[in-house]
Amino acid sequence: MTSLHADEAFLGHYQLSHDPFAPRVPGFKFFPAQRKPVLGQLHHLARYSQLLLVVTGPLGSGKTLLRQALVASTNKQSVQSVVVSARGAGDAAGVLRQVAQSLDVATAEPNAILKQVVQLGLTGQEVYLLVDDAEQLDESALEALLALAAGTPEGRPHVFLFGESSLIADLEQISGDQELFHVIELQPYEEEETREYLAQRLEGAGAGIELFSAQQISDIHESSDGWPGTINQVARDAMIEAMIASRSAVKRPKMGFTMPKKHVLAISAVVVVAVAAAWLIPGRSKAPTTAGTPTEQAQLPLGKPTPNVEFANSGQPTNLPMVGQPVMRGPLAEEAGGISEGDDGVPVEGSSATPPTVTTTAPPAGVPAGQPAAVAKPTPAPTVATAKPAPVTKPVAPAPAPAAKPAPAAKPAEKPAATVAKAGAAGSGWYGSQPANNFVVQILGTSSEANAQAFVKEQGGEYRYFKKVLNGKPLYVITYGNFSSRAAADSAIKTLPAKVQAGKPWPRTVASVQQELAATR
């Protein structure tokens, strides 16, 4: 396993070097044509505008990638880039402290920071101040950053905020009627850009875009609305769904014959002929009359009592001293009914392939079933040599009867699935106890567990959340419902409140959630 926490089964099934849709893949860079003008606009505004610059987009829209491209495309000799995060330090003191440390300023105050910016300007260096997760900034932090962006007549830093759209309302409330900031809203990928993005992700992991059909690519684009973060989730979900479907088809219990059809027909013909011969051989009616049913008479038509025979689960029978021909029940039953296997290829308990624990007491010839066997004299050799084959051929007649017994073996085949579900429930809560093929609707993700709890409490019903790790930081993902198919999940989305639908919810498999939970542990 690598630091990407990719599931080994997922990687092995598709022969991938790493998870192609992990949030952070080392060396991966995809910058579509539509984002290049945005990058150029940021550089232009940084040079000529006096406003604070805001880049907005939903979670997973590529804001961080754009910020990285902005830093990478600056001239390192003339620009000093300071990158800070509002996650976990969203107040003025936390943000200013990070800025002061990066600029070697002793006092974490706006005036002291501005003086250092002016000093750097005299040496020919500008300062780019870039803030990630800016939607988590509180009012005091926004006011401090607006003050830094305004600067002094001698100099100022170029301040960039990268955050979700909720950031705009907070800035408008502080700015009032003043024009203090400029907003650039990121746009989602077009379908062709989605295809190129998927291809580059897969190629980096040693696969190709041929893993997805044209229809699947269209579905991924439509479900994700073209946002790269959601494309990753939906594409990986589709691959897991296809993997589960292919494995289910391969491991379905075998209920048919395991031999070639022509061999089965030949064996059946031999059995039919043997049965007919047993009933048509002359002198059959002259055979010694014994008590009990024909099945009981045919168990062991031997000349001496036979001891009890016990088969343990180990498949090792006890010694069986027999006289005459052995009874061929086991092989005939297996040929007639086949062998039932569970999902893991192991014979299912109760099927014909599993040695059952059976105790069989066969009475000697002439003794009714259920009565103690009396000591009988061995049959004289001349009598065995005479033309009375009935004692030898009778065991063949009832042999086909046990052939129908393996049929109930299909029911125990469901036991492995139930065992897996129970094990998952113990380790992963509600999500771990649900079928992997089911779907939930992902509503939103938030870095605050309190916010997730409040949302679930407010909506109630089928809303719940789980914790995952994104870029090394906790993320609380809220989901809705539990559906047996993607179509049912899509229909449920249309019935959600308008407030919830505004977040662009999308369906995903329970299997993908279970994998994220496993990676978090």
Q: Is the pLDDT of residue 274 over 60?
A: yes
Identify whether 149 is part of a domain. Answer: yes
Q: Write down the mean pLDDT value for the chain.
A: 73
The winner for highest mean pLDDT among 207-211, 305-309, 373-377, 385-389 is 207-211
Which one is predicted more confidently, 260 or 331? 260
* Helix (H), strand (E) at residue 509: strand 506-509
pLDDT tens-digit map of 291-303: 444 444 444 444 4
- pLDDT bin (cut points 50, 70, 90) of residue 252 is low
At residue 141, the pLDDT reads: 93
Instruction: Please tell me whether residues 146 and 66 are part of one structural domain.
Output: yes
pLDDT tens-digit map of 423-472: 333 335 889 899 988 999 998 888 888 888 888 888 888 899 999 887 67
Whole-angstrom CA distances from 288 to 299, 365, 366, 394, 482 are 15, 9, 8, 12, 69
* CATH number of 446's domain: 3.30.70.1070
Instruction: Please tell me whether residues 118 and 216 are part of one structural domain.
Output: no
Instruction: Please tell me whether residues 42 and 171 are part of one structural domain.
Output: yes
Question: Which residues, at least 6 apart from 166, have a Cβ–Cβ distance to it below 8 Å?
Answer: 135
Q: How big is the CA angle at 247 (ends 491 and 20), to the nearest 5 degrees? A: 75
Instruction: Please tell me whether residues 282 and 379 are part of one structural domain.
Output: yes
Q: Is the pLDDT of residue 490 over 90?
A: no
Instruction: Please tell me whether residues 80 and 149 are part of one structural domain.
Output: yes
Identify whether 178 is part of a domain. Answer: yes
For residue 157, what are its two tokens? Answer: 């830093």
pLDDT tens-digit map of 58-75: 888 989 889 989 999 998
Q: Residue 314 is which amino acid?
A: S
Identify whether 417 is part of a domain. Answer: no
> pLDDT exceeding 70 applies to what percent of the chain?
63
At residue 263, the pLDDT reads: 58
Q: How many CB atoms lie within 10 A of CB 454?
A: 12
Residue where one domain finishes, among candidates 159, 185, 211: 185
Q: Residue 411 is which amino acid?
A: K
Instruction: Please tell me whether residues 15 and 48 are part of one structural domain.
Output: no
Q: How many CB atoms lie within 10 A of CB 480?
A: 22
**Which of helix, strand or coil describes residue 400?**
coil
Identify whether 346 is part of a domain. Answer: yes
Whole-angstrom CA distances from 276 to 239, 273, 330, 394 are 57, 5, 21, 11
pLDDT tens-digit map of 178-215: 899 999 999 999 999 999 999 999 998 888 999 999 99
Q: Is the pLDDT of residue 382 over 80?
A: no
Q: How many CB atoms lie within 10 A of CB 298?
A: 21
Chain-centroid distance of CA 157 in Å reads 47
For residue 31, what are its two tokens? Answer: 């910058």
Question: Which residues, at least 6 apart from 490, have a Cβ–Cβ distance to it below 8 Å?
Answer: 507
Question: Which residues, at least 6 apart from 79, have a Cβ–Cβ distance to it below 8 Å?
Answer: 125, 126, 127, 128
Mean pLDDT across 262-270: 63
- Give the integer Cα–Cα distance in Å for 489 and 438: 9
> Among 129, 132, 137, which Cα is nearest to 168's?
137
Identify whether 74 is part of a domain. Answer: yes
- pLDDT bin (cut points 50, 70, 90) of residue 272 is low
Instruction: Please tell me whether residues 306 and 243 are part of one structural domain.
Output: no
Identify whether 253 is part of a domain. Answer: no
At residue 218, the pLDDT reads: 92
- pLDDT bin (cut points 50, 70, 90) of residue 409 is very low
For residue 503, what are its two tokens? Answer: 């977040």
CB-CB contact of 306 with 322 (8 Å):
yes
At residue 270, the pLDDT reads: 65
- Give the integer Cα–Cα distance in Å for 251 and 241: 15
Residue where one domain finishes, among candidates 138, 158, 185: 185
State residue 158 phi and psi, 5-degree precision.
Answer: -95, 110
- DSSP letter (8 states) at residue 258: S
Instruction: Please tell me whether residues 383 and 508 are part of one structural domain.
Output: no
- pLDDT bin (cut points 50, 70, 90) of residue 90 is confident
- DSSP letter (8 states) at residue 311: B
pTM (2 d.p.) = 0.51
Number of domains in the chain: 4
Instruction: Please tell me whether residues 401 and 276 are part of one structural domain.
Output: yes
Which one is predicted more confidently, 473 or 491? 491
- Give the integer Cα–Cα distance in Å for 448 and 329: 67
Q: How many CB atoms lie within 10 A of CB 214?
A: 9
Identify whether 255 is part of a domain. Answer: no
State residue 110 phi and psi, 5-degree precision.
Answer: -55, -45
At residue 54, the pLDDT reads: 95
> Among 188, 180, 185, which Cα is nearest to 142's?
180
- pLDDT bin (cut points 50, 70, 90) of residue 282 is low
Find residue 129's DSSP bridge partners: 82, 159
CB-CB contact of 371 with 295 (8 Å):
no
At residue 294, the pLDDT reads: 43
- Give the integer Cα–Cα distance in Å for 501 and 497: 6
For residue 363, what are its two tokens? Answer: 């009475």
Identify whether 481 is part of a domain. Answer: yes
At residue 278, the pLDDT reads: 65
pLDDT tens-digit map of 101-145: 999 999 999 999 999 999 999 999 999 999 999 999 999 999 999
Q: Which of 296-305, 410-419, 477-486 has the lowest mean pLDDT?
A: 410-419
Instruction: Please tell me whether residues 402 and 372 are part of one structural domain.
Output: yes
Instruction: Please tell me whether residues 402 and 516 are part of one structural domain.
Output: no
> pLDDT exceeding 90 applies to what percent of the chain?
31
At residue 324, the pLDDT reads: 42
**Full domain range(s) for residue 456:** 434-520
**Which of helix, strand or coil describes residue 513?**
helix
Instruction: Please tell me whether residues 348 and 470 are part of one structural domain.
Output: no
CB-CB contact of 152 with 101 (8 Å):
no
CB-CB contact of 200 with 11 (8 Å):
no
- pLDDT bin (cut points 50, 70, 90) of residue 157 is very high
> Among 430, 204, 509, 16, which Cα is nearest to 6's?
16
pLDDT tens-digit map of 159-181: 999 999 889 999 999 988 889 99
